[in-house]
């Protein structure tokens, strides 16, 4: 699915460039809130927990206007690291995400005070790693990976600066599909304690970001 979206994006950017339409390149810093709920199952016993974690994140993006259409398409990349680190009574978990990309469509309208208010929607994808999930019974889920995939929506305000620069402030939210991780009870990395009973983790993760961006138009 992601390859198809990337193919469409590259095609649109190529069309934008050939039509001499406006392109934008920029970077963002964000205050991100990751929250979710998880279920750890061991045999016939399940334990549910919820939590959230706030982290600073960075992002780079490129956008191009679609010729003869009031929208632009964009691709954003976040070299994420750890987005959640929860220490609980029953579990200690660390969740890392990498290779996070968002393909989106953006549409805006000028406001009387100047600048542009905009809305964007797209899809986000990344690789999530349960770097460690240690439980009170002694075993750990380590270095297990799954794919994060989910829709993204956002609203924001953009204002032009000098020398073809621009500034943005944006609030966006991503609802990821359920991710899972499992272990047969034995640690393959040596960092966990062997246990005859395997464990399965299922989690729903959401990411909300307040972003501040700066970029340049071409």
Instruction: Give the three-state DSSP class for 217.
Output: strand
Q: Give residue-wise pLDDT tens across range 28-45.
A: 999 988 887 767 676 677
End-to-end CA distance of the chain: 30
Total domains in the fold of the chain: 1
Domain range for residue 134? 2-217
pLDDT of residue 115: 93
- Of 39-48, 122-131, 168-177, minimum mean pLDDT range: 39-48
Residue 163's Cβ-count burial label (10 Å; 0-12, 13-18, 19+) is exposed
Residue with tokens 């989106």: 104
User: Is the model's pLDDT at 196 over the cut of 50?
Assistant: no
* 152 in Cβ contact with 104 (< 8 Å): yes
pLDDT of residue 83: 56
CA triplet 204, 205, 211: central angle to 5 degrees? 160
Q: How far apart are CA 91 and CA 89, in angstroms?
A: 6
User: Is the model's pLDDT at 192 over the cut of 70?
Assistant: no
DSSP-assigned letters across all residues of 3-35: HHHHHHHHHHHHHHHHTT--EEEEEEEEEEEEE
pLDDT of residue 24: 92
Q: Give residue-wise pLDDT tens across range 81-117.
A: 555 555 444 455 566 777 888 999 999 999 998 899 9
CATH code (residue 185): 2.40.160.20
- Bridge partners (DSSP) listed for residue 25: 62, 216
Q: Give residue-wise pLDDT tens across range 52-79.
A: 778 888 999 999 888 778 899 899 998 8
pLDDT of residue 33: 87
Residues in the chain: 218
Question: pTM of the prediction?
Answer: 0.76
């Amino acid at each position: 699915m992601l390859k198809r979206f990337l193919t469409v994006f590259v095609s649109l950017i190529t069309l934008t460039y050939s039509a001499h339409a406006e392109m934008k390149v920029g970077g963002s810093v964000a205050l991100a809130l990751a929250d979710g709920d998880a279920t750890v199952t061991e045999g016939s016993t399940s334990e549910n927990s919820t939590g959230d974690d706030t982290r600073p994140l960075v992002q780079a993006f490129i956008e191009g206007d679609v010729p003869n259409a009031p929208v632009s398409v964009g691709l954003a990349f976040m070299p994420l690291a750890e987005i959640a680190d929860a220490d609980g009574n029953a579990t200690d978990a660390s969740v890392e995400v990498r290779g996070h990309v968002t393909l989106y469509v953006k549409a805006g309208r000028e406001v009387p005070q100047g600048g542009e208010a905009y809305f964007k929607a797209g899809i986000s994808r990344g690789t999530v790693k349960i770097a460690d999930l240690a439980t009170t019974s002694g075993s750990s889920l380590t270095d297990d990976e799954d794919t994060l995939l989910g829709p993204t929506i956002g609203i924001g305000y953009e204002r032009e600066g000098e020398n073809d620069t621009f500034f943005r402030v944006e609030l966006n939210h991503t609802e990821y599909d359920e991710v899972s991780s499992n272990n047969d009870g034995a640690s393959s990395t040596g960092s966990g304690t062997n246990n005859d009973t395997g464990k399965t983790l299922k989690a729903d993760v959401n990411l909300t970001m307040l972003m501040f961006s700066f970029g340049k138009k071409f």
